[in-house]
Amino acid sequence: MKIDKNKNMFSLKGKTSVVTGAARGNGKEIAISFAKNGANVILIDKLLPELKKLKKELKKYKVTTKFFLCDLSSLEEIKDLISKIKKEKIYIDILVNNAGVSFSSTSKIYPDDLWEKTYKVNLKAPFLLSSGLINNFNKNSSIINITSLGAELGFYNNVAYQTFKGALRQMTKSMAMDYAKFKIRVNNLSPGYIKTNMTKKSFSNKTRRNKLINKTILGRLGTSKDLIGTVIFLSSLASEYITAQDLRVDGGYTYKGDV
């Protein structure tokens, strides 16, 4: 498809996107934004009722929508997912590795089982999907890894989440080097405090919430919709000379001084 870059730099029409953790939260909003902008959407999650509901919701955008059930903590299920995508000859323009888990613990020694669960979903799954589908990417494709403030900053009681988000951030740079020859760009999107199920506890605690707002330059916490502009940018030809980068969508949280 020939594209007039001057008129359609941000166009996603006719592209095919894959979003992990698509059933709710940031992943759901990202999937909706792709459909709104004309991209076909492949939804990946383990939550069947939510996937069915979202697929029905996306019908009104008149794009092709499929979903695959997959528990991203399971190596066998990831292998099966990759096999199905290959068998159906689905060729990808955009992969958003959004799925993530977070398990805080106040134990003196962080539990080994929580460490392993976090590793499998937050780091191993993005690696396996990106590398396993390498031959299914079209030229000028984009991989977007969703990292976190925890990839750079230290927080209490969640060493596994911060460790593997930090590792994902670094893996992106290595992948960008390796995948450039395949015409695939790889970047990080690092959200700030976004209202999702994962952050519900922080948002519902008024003292904690006000503290976070005070730490944010823009003076408010984020919503999933705040991520969409950056996702569209990184998915489109508007960012075709951008790879291996960390784009923070955090309202200035990372850089605010004098709190």
> How is residue 82 written in tokens?
């990759």
Give dist(CA 179, CA 127) in Å, integer.
12
Out of 91, 161, 179, 241, pick the active-site residue.
Answer: 161
Where does the chain have alpha helices with state H? 5-8, 25-36, 48-58, 75-87, 112-119, 125-132, 159-179, 200-204, 206-214, 228-235
Alpha-carbon gap, residue 39 to 67, rounded angstroms: 14
- To the query of whether residue 193 is one of the catalytic residues in this protein, the response is no
> What are the structure tokens assigned to 56, written together?
């029905």
What tokens appear for 214 in the block?
Answer: 């005070």
Report the distance separating Cα 86 and Cα 64, nearest Å. 17
Closest CA to 41 of 76, 15, 78: 15
DSSP string, 94-132: EEEE---------SSS--HHHHHHHHIIIIIHHHHHHHH
Q: What angle do CA 253, 170, 164 make, to 5 degrees?
A: 75
- Distances in Å between the alpha carbon of 111 and those of 75, 121, 161? 21, 16, 12
Interstrand relation of 184-191 and 137-146 (parallel, antiparallel or unpaired):
parallel
Residue of 126, 178, 180 whose CA lies nearest to 151: 126
Q: Which residues are part of the catalytic machinery?
A: 161
